[in-house]
Structure 1
């Protein structure tokens, strides 16, 4: 895979939630620079406003620009769009799925509290051809992570819903989530899915804490993060960006491979004597793609 090909298949880095009952905020979210906009029917919408929020979907998303992978060469590209529905145990779930089914096919569905492969298959049948983004928010969901990830070809990503998961696990801080985080990263990659995005950081004004948490997540294998305020986007992007030394090392690896190919040799050695293998070369290409995405849409 070339660096440009790797970049084109990378998942969103910044994903911004916007409540569906506030259509006035959607335009701002689409213009925020987020890689994906998550239109929320669930936690951000009060029970009394659920029906009205659902009614806004067709109107507000009809004017949204197509995602970049759809609009390439065909007009103005915008961020990817997903709709987070209410979970299957609520009285709003069926109506949410029916509303999503009427939206353009490029709009994905974000599903909270997924716990069974049968539930995933039911979602796929109800929303044929539509990307399913599964949120694991209970101990049972985490235990079944790989089974859920492989339950349907429509599964496009896994993620954690950490507020509910903390409650279910009865833990108070990020230390108690370490195993669950590692589990979802391994399950996603074992299933051939992108690295998962981290859950939202709820302390909107604590950007230092957000940055530190993002760096810890990146070390575990996460890629990107959901946000609940546009002010968090730049911090998330910067925290996941590779250091300049990492980027330069990756460039050296890619150059060495190209030079070896041009010379007709299968042995690739860096200036410091490091022998390269396939895994190191692929990681270098990933680092360069990551750096390009982290530089922002204008890059």
Structure 2
């Protein structure tokens, strides 16, 4: 299952890592990058490795964000059973991901893991990365993309307003690149304003409409809202079921679906099947 909610947790805090599985997040991202002071990163690698070894929690995916500047050290510390994947910060060259694939393959073999067991989620955080996003999406092991919007905005000289509309073109690029490469829908960016949950709900719903499949969080209070927005409602599921059934009964031709005001063709049926797939998972 591709997670709806991804909670960042500082890798140098064993206490916060231990509590993370109880937040309701589908995935935990133990951070070895921006959330950790440089002097504490060696200790953070040890703490994250211990966290992985003790078991993260039932139905919670364990991910680790690694730094491209310390790729070998970060990855060597965390490749072990229980690691679902690595989030790679500040990816602006697909060659970095090719190198990461080789590094992961060697460590998987060395540590008795199946080849390809560990997935990758790059974060595009620069103008250069955005220009190369299709190549990044096509790199080995990539499960889904994400944007680092604070760094990207700074690199572009952009000053996004409260609604973030200035970032819409970059977000669309991430959605389009993901679809073209056959990836899972991209993960949406975190917001630092964790107290305003209604604003979070509104902006998360906008990301879902745009084609994102989940969102990152920096605080446990954000998790429930993100899960709710990215979970189909009972009405959405019922409508999708009617659409799929009507289209199947029409033998592949366009049909009208009673009660929906919708003329259904293959594209509409495909969207409905995606809703049902998300609901089942």
How many angstroms apart in 2 are the aligned matches of 1:58 and 1:266? 51
Once the two structures are TM-superposed, the CA of residue 121 in structure 1 deviates from its matched residue by: 0.4
Structure 1 gap segments, 5+ residues each: 1-9, 67-76, 294-299
Once the two structures are TM-superposed, the CA of residue 244 in structure 1 deviates from its matched residue by: 5.0
- Size of the aligned set, in residue pairs, is 265
Once the two structures are TM-superposed, the CA of residue 118 in structure 1 deviates from its matched residue by: 1.2
TM-score (norm 1): 0.82
In the alignment, what sits opposite 2:142? 155
In the alignment, what sits opposite 1:96? 74
In the alignment, what sits opposite 1:289? 277
1:233 aligned onto 2:252: no
SS at match of 1:156: coil
TM-score (norm 2): 0.87
How many angstroms apart in 2 are the aligned matches of 1:61 and 1:120? 23
In the alignment, what sits opposite 1:297? none
Once the two structures are TM-superposed, the CA of residue 100 in structure 1 deviates from its matched residue by: 2.5
In the alignment, what sits opposite 1:296? none
How many angstroms apart in 2 are the aligned matches of 1:20 and 1:274? 49
Once the two structures are TM-superposed, the CA of residue 266 in structure 1 deviates from its matched residue by: 5.0
How many angstroms apart in 2 are the aligned matches of 1:274 and 1:112? 42
Conserved 8 A contact 1:115-1:140: yes
CA spacing shift, 1:235–1:202, aligned 2, 3 Å: same
For residues 115-134 of structure 1, what are the structure 2 equivalents within 5 Å? 115-128=92-105, 129=116, 130-134=118-122
In the alignment, what sits opposite 2:203? 213
Structure 2 gap segments, 5+ residues each: 106-115
How many angstroms apart in 2 are the aligned matches of 1:119 and 1:172? 29
Residue number among 5, 20, 25 corresponding to 2:11 in the alignment: 20
Conserved 8 A contact 1:30-1:78: no
In the alignment, what sits opposite 1:5? none
Once the two structures are TM-superposed, the CA of residue 249 in structure 1 deviates from its matched residue by: 1.8
1:108 aligned onto 2:85: yes
How many angstroms apart in 2 are the aligned matches of 1:36 and 1:105? 12
For residues 40-59 of structure 1, what are the structure 2 equivalents within 5 Å? 40-59=31-50
CA spacing shift, 1:201–1:184, aligned 2, 3 Å: same
How many angstroms apart in 2 are the aligned matches of 1:274 and 1:184? 29
Once the two structures are TM-superposed, the CA of residue 251 in structure 1 deviates from its matched residue by: 2.0
Conserved 8 A contact 2:72-2:103: no
Higher relative contact order (CA 8 A, sep 6+): 1
1:86 aligned onto 2:32: no
SS at match of 1:167: helix
Conserved 8 A contact 1:100-1:109: no
How many angstroms apart in 2 are the aligned matches of 1:65 and 1:242? 26
Conserved 8 A contact 1:137-1:160: yes
CA spacing shift, 1:266–1:121, aligned 2, 3 Å: closer
Once the two structures are TM-superposed, the CA of residue 33 in structure 1 deviates from its matched residue by: 1.4
For residues 210-289 of structure 1, what are the structure 2 equivalents within 5 Å? 210-242=200-232, 244-257=234-247, 260=249, 265=251, 267=253, 268-271=255-258, 274-289=262-277
